[in-house]
Amino acid sequence: MTLQQQIRANRFRTALVLLGFAVLVAALALAISVAYEPGLAGFIGIGAIAYGIFSWFFAGRMVAAASGAHRVTKEQYPELHRTVENAAIGAGMPRTPDIYVIEDTAPNAFAAGRDPKHAYVAATTGLMEKLSKRELEGVIAHEIAHIRNRDVRLMSLAAVLVGVIALVSDMLMRMTLFGGGRNREGNALTMVVGIAAMILAPIGAMLLQMSLSRRREYLADASAAEITGDGEGLALALAKLRDDHTPLHKVTRATAHLYIESPLRDHKGLRSSLGGLFDTHPPLEERISRLAEAGGFPAP
């Protein structure tokens, strides 16, 4: 798969995500209007469209706010800035992306934003402390690859759209289960429909989000190896992330897929009992061994 094909595939998938979002919102609106008040559906529809448009432009910033990432200057983090700059040059990007930092000891990183001109790379302080220069270069190159491959818009949009569906349906489920519905004494059937839709919506949202991740991680790893000319650096970094079990604090299901390595890997509560089905990332072992195979070095 060439870069151009990947970019095209991403555009197509972005359209699918938006469509999926619309369908889920419709399902949710239907469930709410059946269970509560028919007139609500129109308001929800208008609200969802407004939110969708807002998300298109501000998904990156919303993700930053949700994950506690703040923008830093070259002077504050010269080393990180240099690494990002060099990776951007290696990827042939005309502009160095903005740089954000998350104050957290867990080593992790992500990239988000609308397009290469409005994208940023975010790294935790733990990543900078725990990784060597070479390993950091690999991780940053992976994030730069996400930006160049136009993965960021899709991933950011998925985060904010899935996030809001999860939030709303969660709220509604509680309202249905613990009272507040006006038609409680009414038709039992409408209640069943309502509850079913409210359960299905978040599951659908999760599936939507998951459909994004796995192959693009492998592709970004391969691109990173090309950008730095050092696949082993990234493999060593991934091995370090594998062996580090510090939990990342500000993370939700909606933003988990953005990170270079799933921050929910060790999270018993959020990691579904369904196991692999809901994993947003391919196993680190597999990614490391693919890098090792392509680069001809022993897997760390």
Partner 1 sequence: MSPLLIVAAAVVALLLYVIVSYNKLVRLRNECAEGFSSIDVQLKRRADLVPNLVESVKAYASHENTVFTRVTEARAATLAAASIPQKEAAHVLMQSALTGLLGIAEAYPELRAVETFTALQAELSDTEDKIAAARRYYNATTRRYNTALDQIPTNVIAGATGFERREFFSIEDPADREPVAVKL
Order of strands across the sheet that contains 109-113: 69-71, 98-102, 119-124, 109-113
We find the least distance from the C-beta atom of residue 187 to partner 1, in angstroms, to be 52
Alpha-carbon torsion 290, 293, 294, 296, what sign?
positive
Which 56-85 positions form the footprint of partner 1 (CB under 8 A)? 82, 85
- CB of residue 9 to partner 1, shortest distance in Å: 12
Q: Does 90 bind partner 1 (CB under 8 A)?
A: yes
Minimum CB–partner distance for residue 83 and partner 1 (Å): 9
Helix or strand (DSSP H, E) at 64: helix 40-67
Which residue in 135, 137, 143, 217 is the catalytic one? 143
Nearer residue to partner 1 within complex by CB, 197 or 219: 219
Q: In the stretch 196-235, what mask flags binding to partner 1 with x, by CB under 8 A? A: -------------------x--xx--x---xxxx------
Cα angle 291, 227, 63 (rounded to 5 degrees) comes to 90
Name which of 89 and 188 has its Cβ closer to partner 1.
89
In terms of CB distance, is 133 or 184 closer to partner 1? Answer: 133
Among 26, 72, 86, 250, binds partner 1 (CB under 8 A): 86
Structure tokens at 240: 């370090």
The verdict on 117 binding partner 1 (CB under 8 A) reads no
143 is catalytic: yes
**Cα dihedral sign, 244-245-249-254:** positive
Which pair of tokens denotes residue 227?
Answer: 């950008």
d(CA 279, CA 209): 10
Query: In whole angstroms, how close is the CB of 212 to partner 1 at the nearest point?
Result: 16
For residues 155-168, one letter each, b for 16 or more C-beta atoms within 10 angstroms of the residue's C-beta and e for the rest, the string is bbbbbbbbbbbbeb
What residues are annotated to the active site?
Answer: 143
Residues that bind partner 1 (CB under 8 A): 1, 4, 82, 85-87, 89-92, 94, 215, 218-219, 222, 226-229, 294
